Each structure stands twice: as C-alpha cells, then as structure tokens.
C-alpha cells in the first residue's frame, strides 16, 4: 500500500488497524507488521561500473529485470541481495572487463519478539549485511570525465 506524502493522512488509522489485525487472530495484539526478507548489500568500488550480470543460487531471490533490479538508490553503487529462507546463497558478480566477484552469503532464521498467535514469529537475516566489492579500476565506467588525471 502506498501513501503519498502529498495526500492526506486520513487513511493512516485504517492502515495501522489493518496492520495490527493482519498480524494474527483477534485474540493476539501483534506489533505493526512483519519483518521482510533479510538483505545483504554489495558496495561496488565505483559507480558506474561495467557490471553485466548478477547470478545467485540457493534461497536468494533473483531480480526480475536483470542487473538493474538489484541496485538500490540512484547511484548504482550498491546491490541488494535478499532471501526469504535461511540457507547459503552463492552470489557471483560478473563485469564486462572480465573481473568476477564471488562469495557465499549465509542467511539465518531469527526469532521475532511477538506474542503467541502472530504469524511473523520468525524472520530471515544475512549474518553479514555489508560486503565491500573491491572491483578494480578497469571495471569502472568513465562517466564523462577525463580519467588521465588519476
């Protein structure tokens, strides 16, 4: 459900009520909402880069729209990989220059501190949440500046 900042907030009480009711039976008072998938962020050394593919195996979720679907924000410097299930995901980033970065990411199930009867008593998180991808300068795309001054 999207709520526009420009719109009125008259729907906010209904949103809060539906979130609380959606989290369990009428006998349980559940906190607002359930935790979503666990995320692992991959921070590239430069942006833009010549990244051409993101391959994941295991319980990780794959992007529907190719490489672009993994990026967060407008800077194209951080990719996000997530999982709805515990387990090990193998993540491989491939760059047009031939450089490849690969790592296994462990996702674990955590217990959410909610009353009995709430369906969101567990959630999944990455055991390490930030990975620095030290991709070499040869993978960096020139954004129009003169690279000879480096």
Could you tell me the CATH number of the domain that includes residue 127? Answer: 2.60.40
Residue 89 located in a structural domain: yes
Confirm whether 1 is domain-assigned: no
Tally of domains in the chain: 1
Half-sphere exposure of 119 (CA within 13 A, CB side): 11
Q: Residue range 15-22: average pLDDT?
A: 40
Is position 7 within any domain? no
Residue 21 neighbours by CB under 8 Å, 6+ apart: none
Residue 3 lies in a domain: no
Query: What integer best gives the mean pLDDT of the chain?
Result: 75
Domain that holds residue 117: 35-135
Strand partners, 105: 89
Indicate whether 79 belongs to any domain.
yes
Q: Place 22 in a pLDDT band, splitting at 50, 70 and 90.
A: very low
Kindly state whether residue 16 falls inside one of the protein's structural domains: no
- pLDDT, residue 71, reads 86
Which pTM does this prediction carry?
0.68
The answer to whether position 81 is within a domain reads: yes
Within-domain flag for 95:
yes
Q: What is the pLDDT of residue 97?
A: 93
């Amino acid at each position: 459900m999207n709520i526009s900042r420009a719109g009125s907030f008259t729907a906010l009480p209904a949103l809060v009520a539906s979130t609380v009711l959606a989290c369990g039976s009428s006998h349980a008072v559940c906190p607002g909402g359930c935790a979503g998938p666990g995320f692992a962020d991959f921070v590239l050394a430069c942006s833009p880069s010549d990244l051409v593919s993101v391959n994941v195996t295991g319980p990780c979720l794959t992007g529907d729209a190719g490489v672009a679907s993994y990026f967060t924000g407008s800077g194209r410097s951080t990719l996000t990989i997530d999982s709805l299930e515990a387990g090990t995901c193998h993540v491989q980033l491939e760059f047009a220059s031939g450089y490849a970065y690969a790592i296994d990411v462990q996702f674990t199930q955590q217990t959410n501190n909610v009353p009995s009867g709430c369906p969101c008593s567990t959630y999944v998180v990455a055991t390490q949440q930030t990975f620095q991808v030290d991709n070499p300068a040869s993978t960096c795309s020139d954004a129009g500046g003169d690279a000879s001054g480096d």
